Chain A
């Protein structure tokens, strides 16, 4: 199993009454009322330092992502972050996981093909190419993509990117959304015909089937923990089996909020940051989320037919609830690894996306979290699945087994 450091790059110093003034972490907060650009510069640098520390400490990969116009996470162009990380981890056994640039909102999408190829070249073939469709707020509001066209744009763009990466001749692209007279990409990725492809999604049937049929790896970027994703996991593996694919756990990535401390009691230090994350950052106005056309017709019918999910207001819950419900896994290394292993085995997770920074967590605490996770938790997880399954969705040059614990020891010494 691989564990990658995930980071949203949020605004870490929102005022205490932020959630009283704003009903949405997206779109509504006005930069000049809320943000300090000097602080934000510090956040970007801390974020890069945290990623690099994770790489040096022995984590398998570092994951960037793209979001816009919000306080929850604003790596507006993940390739900027990914290129710094590719350079800073030169020669290291670490994947640069771009999870990633959103195809439908970039025109032409060959721009992303180029940026990813650059990162693959700079990193010596260590890129994992993630292709999210983008949140509705990002794609349709911040970037103006027509909601009902988002999916078809995405699918056409992905096809174009893959062809642009490996076509041996100059070709014309005559698509519905993109037309290019002569495509001949420079550079091409080192990894041919293409870097491993990961596709994040919420788990709708159409996305799952699309990913399984393409034989890519699926990532479920939930903030509610493995404990609350059993039905999603069962649904996913059922589709995998029904569509004739093997049960290789590396077909599934899963995000988990994690905080490791010296003891279970000491892990209370993560409480304010978890509450900040769920109460302030994870708030989207429903009308910015449920935009007409964002769901295709079949998914819309399915959503209206499904019985209502457990309804709760996350702001009524406190840190203890988040721990009890498994939204966050915090505690001593032993507690964290036991709880993680339960989820990893239950869901068959091959790629753990460890959100080791969340909410208002200060830089020093995040660095400690990374150190403790890499040194005391990861060595107990990494052998999971490796005897049985090869990770076909990992850069080939990094597939050799490696002594993670030694790397971690070297990093902290």
Chain B
């Protein structure tokens, strides 16, 4: 699989240089990655790129050579204003917004703050709500074995293997290890120590037709949260995915892409 074509953008009074993967053709679709970076999202994005022009920006601090950008965005208000600027710079008036996990929460907050900027919303196992009876697991505090079991329906399957596999080449191995950890550090800044940061007060502002996709075996955030999101968003529908954990778009890329495609329509 060839690397995704990346464009570099300088933003935020030139204090952030972010990479955005851009490819495909058709109406614009912005994908916001989860806590582990873009590394494992390519197959899914290529499926979406058959019908849409995909824009997949990297979260501040996770672009190559720009690790310190994490210290330029300090809170959720900064983060949402930043994404407003990002959409402007990409000249995207109201794209489809797709977010996974942490990126799902970012997508929700964008859609709540700027309803006019989001054509349709797709949330894949998003974090952002909290139920006392089923607390969201802090994925940054799980042992490798527990993380594997929480992320995947089949913790011994090929996707779990691929997710945790490290390249043999030393430089690439270091890049992958650092990227995996630093990406959690940069996204974790906004959801530490737990991902209940006020979405419940904003979520009623989401106006875009919304698809909520959830892995039935999600061990990070219980599948019951799908209905929590569903009942708070006015125009939402829920699709539960078989044989998928917290990474359904990776573990069941074809199925999730088809579901999304059906939702987005021709």
Seen from chain A, the residues whose Cβ lies within 8 Å of a Cβ on chain B are 140-141, 144, 146-149, 152, 176, 285-288, 290-293, 297, 300-301, 304-305
Pair A297/B189 contact, Cβ less than 8 Å: no
Instruction: Identify which of B68, B74, B142, B178 gathers the most chain A CB atoms within 10 Å of its CB.
Output: B178
List 20 interface pairs A-B (beta carbons < 8 Å), by A numbering.
Answer: A141-B193, A146-B188, A147-B189, A147-B192, A148-B186, A148-B188, A152-B71, A285-B143, A286-B143, A287-B141, A287-B142, A290-B181, A291-B141, A293-B184, A293-B186, A293-B188, A300-B178, A300-B182, A304-B174, A304-B178
Contact among A147, A152, A286, A301 with B178 in the assembled complex (CB-CB below 8 Å): A301
Seen from chain B, the residues whose Cβ lies within 8 Å of a Cβ on chain A are 67-68, 70-71, 74, 140-144, 173-174, 177-178, 181-186, 188-189, 192-193
On chain A, the residues within 8 Å of B74 by CB distance are 176
Complex: chain A residue closest to B181, CB-CB: A292
Instruction: Identify which of A141, A144, A288, A301 gathers the most chain B CB atoms within 10 Å of its CB.
Output: A301
Contact among A149, A286, A297 with B182 in the assembled complex (CB-CB below 8 Å): A297
On chain B, the residues within 8 Å of A301 by CB distance are 174, 178
Q: How far is the CA of A297 from the CA of B179 in the complex (A)?
A: 10
* Distance between A146 CB and nearest chain B CB, rounded to angstroms: 5
With contact pairs A297-B67, A301-B174 given, residues A141 and B141 touching in the complex (Cβ less than 8 Å): yes
Q: Add 17 more A-B contacts to A147-B192, A148-B71 (CB < 8 A).
A: A140-B193, A141-B193, A146-B189, A148-B185, A148-B186, A148-B188, A148-B189, A149-B189, A152-B71, A176-B74, A288-B141, A291-B141, A293-B185, A293-B189, A297-B182, A304-B173, A304-B178
* Distance between B260 CB and nearest chain A CB, rounded to angstroms: 29
Q: How far is the CA of A148 from the CA of B189 in the complex (A)?
A: 6
Q: How far is the CA of A305 from the CA of B71 in the complex (A)?
A: 24
Q: How far is the CA of A293 from the CA of B189 in the complex (A)?
A: 8
On chain A, the residues within 8 Å of B182 by CB distance are 292-293, 297, 300
On chain B, the residues within 8 Å of A149 by CB distance are 189
Pair A287/B143 contact, Cβ less than 8 Å: yes
Q: How far is the CA of A305 from the CA of B189 in the complex (A)?
A: 25
On chain A, the residues within 8 Å of B184 by CB distance are 292-293
* Distance between A169 CB and nearest chain B CB, rounded to angstroms: 29
Q: How far is the CA of A178 from the CA of B184 in the complex (A)?
A: 25
On chain A, the residues within 8 Å of B173 by CB distance are 304
Pair A292/B174 contact, Cβ less than 8 Å: no
On chain B, the residues within 8 Å of A152 by CB distance are 71
On chain A, the residues within 8 Å of B178 by CB distance are 297, 300-301, 304
* Distance between B5 CB and nearest chain A CB, rounded to angstroms: 25
* Distance between A241 CB and nearest chain B CB, rounded to angstroms: 28
* Distance between B63 CB and nearest chain A CB, rounded to angstroms: 12
Q: How far is the CA of A301 from the CA of B170 in the complex (A)?
A: 12
Q: How far is the CA of A76 from the CA of B51 in the complex (A)?
A: 58
Complex: chain A residue closest to B191, CB-CB: A146
Q: How far is the CA of A304 from the CA of B70 in the complex (A)?
A: 20
Q: How far is the CA of A288 from the CA of B138 in the complex (A)?
A: 11
Q: How far is the CA of A291 from the CA of B192 in the complex (A)?
A: 11
Q: How far is the CA of A144 from the CA of B177 in the complex (A)?
A: 25
Q: How far is the CA of A368 from the CA of B64 in the complex (A)?
A: 58
Pair B188/A292 contact, Cβ less than 8 Å: yes
